[in-house]
Amino acid sequence: MPEVTVKNLAKTFGENSVLRDVTFTIADGEFFTLLGASGCGKSTTLNCIAGLEQPTEGSITVGGRTFVDSAAGVFLPPEERNLGMVFQSYALWPHMTIAKNLALPLNIRKVPKERQKTLIHDALDKVGLADLSGRYPHQLSGGQQQRVALARALVYSPSVLLLDEPLSNLDAKLREQARAWLKRLQEDLGITTVYVTHDQEEALALSDRIAVMEGGNMIQIGTPHEIYERPAAPAVAAFVGRCNFLTGKVTAQNGDRHEVRLDCTGDVVRVDSERRVPAGGSVTVAIRPERLEVVPPNAAPSAANRLDTQVVTSSYVGSRYEYDVRLGDRAVQVLSHRGGLADEVALVFEPADALLYADAVELPEEQRDLLTVSA
């Protein structure tokens, strides 16, 4: 399967710029995910690769073949790109049987009828639906319809598979099952795949690499581990997983070790970071809820940083407890296996458990909402 290269991609609709200098390369056989909130430009990027949108600027090549080159005036129409695409709505023809739905792209390509039978059976067999070829879409469950849409995209052996939020119409349990099945299928086929989603867990579970987008810009590309553990920007930390943000000023810096006085309480915490900020610099300390430990107020110190606080809310969610605690004028979320804590408690964490970003960032909406509730 071919490599996909996108360079300096830009797209405007009138005066509205929806993509800005988007550049990335997808390796042969890689599962590559475009992740971001609604309106970030991820589906527009996918549509540009598919040929459903014509970029304003930039180039796209697949396997060394140029699909788009705005400077040279090259734009290959969708039907000449040999790409398979699965839409969010599945787009199955309701009046056609499953077999006829799969036959449609083969008819367009003038594949002989006898050859079609083999290709349709093989494609449905890959998705576990070979015995349902005579049914109509309305006779299938949502998960089965999703598999049919995928089989239709695979039936003509596309060079690249494009998936636009194909699991979003499934319920939570079925979505988990479909996610595991889709990952196994992609690995078995070895097909280069571009996947669009706003679901961070889906992206982490499926992807070889993830590109996080915001406002038409690509703000970080990395493996799931890199995206979650070493987010390049606060926007990535906020979108992928949950994260607490505390602003402050650096009071001392020695190598990677920073001492930061928090604006919300005046406490000084120690943070290790390769992003070195000299003393006097404004910073944001970001901490994942699971990196914090909540302990009784009289507990012996168990980490380098300790912050006295109080519980605002406590919830038992099966595998853990979720706490909202107050730090001055800030609400902080904590995930813990320790239950039964209330009123005065302490938060503890190690310097390596926090992230450090230069300059103060705006408090995420969920933390502002928590403050309103707990006021």
List pLDDT tens digits, range 85-128.
988 877 889 999 999 999 998 998 899 998 999 999 999 998 88
Structural element, H or E, at residue 154: helix 142-154
The token pair that represents 320 in the structure block = 């853990």
Helix (H, G, I), strand (E, B) or coil at 28: coil
Element (H, E) at 174: helix 172-189
Contact criterion met (CB below 8 Å) for 6 and 49: yes
Q: Rounded CA gap, 21 and 11, in Å?
A: 9
**Mean pLDDT to the nearest integer, 149-161:** 89
CB contact at 8 A, 186 and 162: no
**3 state DSSP class of 212:** strand
- The predicted pLDDT at position 184 comes to 87
Residue 375's pLDDT is 35
260: tokens are 């930061």
Distance CA 283, CA 306 (A): 19
Among candidate residues 152, 137, 153, 145, the one with its CA nearest the CA of residue 195 = 153
Cα separation values, 51 from 42, 78, 166, 315, Å: 14, 5, 19, 48
Q: pLDDT band at 366, cuts 50/70/90?
A: low
- What confidence category does residue 67 fall into, taking pLDDT thresholds of 50, 70 and 90? very high
* pLDDT of amino acid 365: 56
**pLDDT computed for residue 2 by the predictor:** 73
Q: Whole-structure pTM over 0.85, yes or no? A: yes
Between the CA atoms of 208, 213, 217 and 223, what dihedral angle is there, to the nearest 10 degrees? -30
pLDDT at residue 119, as a whole number: 92
For residue 75, with 0-12 CB atoms within 10 Å meaning exposed, 13-18 middle and 19 or more buried, which class applies?
middle
Q: What is the pLDDT of residue 15?
A: 87
In this predicted structure, the answer to whether residue 368 has a pLDDT above a threshold of 80 is no
Contact 349, 305 (CB under 8 A): yes
